[in-house]
Amino acid sequence: MDINYQKIQIGDRLVRTKGGVFSKHHAVYAGFHENQHIVAENQIKVGVRYILLNQFLKEGTLKRIDYNKHSVNAQEQIIERINNKMGATYSILNYNCEHFANEILTGIKESKQVKTGISLSIIATLCALAFGNKFKK
């Protein structure tokens, strides 16, 4: 997938592969500074940080860009929210990359990946309990 560099702006969400089948890595485009495109991400063992877009893209395959068309005022607020989160600790269940991107862009700290994982775990556990007892007879 190619990035439309004429269209991308602060507050656009970038989603790339992360390594797992179900997991994706979310980041927020943070602008063009000193001839470099910058994104903000929440990374395992590192936390919230700015990195070069090229580095973000080297670590996986770009799957999606959500172009958002934020006003200049909204873009300034996004950068302020990112700056306020700098160094925040990564937690796979409580504050992962998707939690971070959603909180920055919508104000709601949530992760559909975590919700899906928990739901699948509950279903698998219930199936194991239900069918496990059936086979023990």
> What pLDDT shows up at residue 119?
45
Task: Using the predicted structure, report yes or no on whether residue 125 has a pLDDT greater than 70.
Answer: no
> Is 115 part of any domain?
no
Range of the domain at 37: 13-109
Per DSSP, the residues of 25-77 read EEEEEEEEETTEEEEEEEETTTEEEEEEHHHHHHTS-EEEEE-----HHHHHH
> Is 135 part of any domain?
no
Task: Using the predicted structure, report yes or no on whether residue 128 has a pLDDT greater than 80.
Answer: no
pLDDT band for position 1 (50/70/90)?
confident
Residue 113 and residue 23 in contact, taking contact as beta carbons nearer than 8 Å: yes
The rounded distance, in Å, linking the Cα atoms of 107 and 58 is 29
Residue 78 and residue 105 in contact, taking contact as beta carbons nearer than 8 Å: yes
Q: How many domains does the chain have?
A: 1
pLDDT band for position 111 (50/70/90)?
confident
Tell the burial category of 108 from Cβ atoms under 10 Å away from its Cβ (0-12, 13-18, 19+): exposed
- What integer is the mean pLDDT of 29-49? 96
Encoded amino acid at 59, one letter: E
The model's pTM is 0.80
> What pLDDT shows up at residue 20?
63
> What pLDDT shows up at residue 135?
54
Q: Return the structure tokens found at 87.
A: 């160094």
> What pLDDT shows up at residue 133?
55
> Is 117 part of any domain?
no
Task: Using the predicted structure, report yes or no on whether residue 26 has a pLDDT greater than 90.
Answer: yes
> What pLDDT shows up at residue 117?
47
pLDDT mean across residues, the chain = 86
> What pLDDT shows up at residue 29?
98
- What integer is the mean pLDDT of 107-132? 61
Q: Return the structure tokens found at 52.
A: 């070069």
The rounded distance, in Å, linking the Cα atoms of 110 and 55 is 25
> Is 7 part of any domain?
no
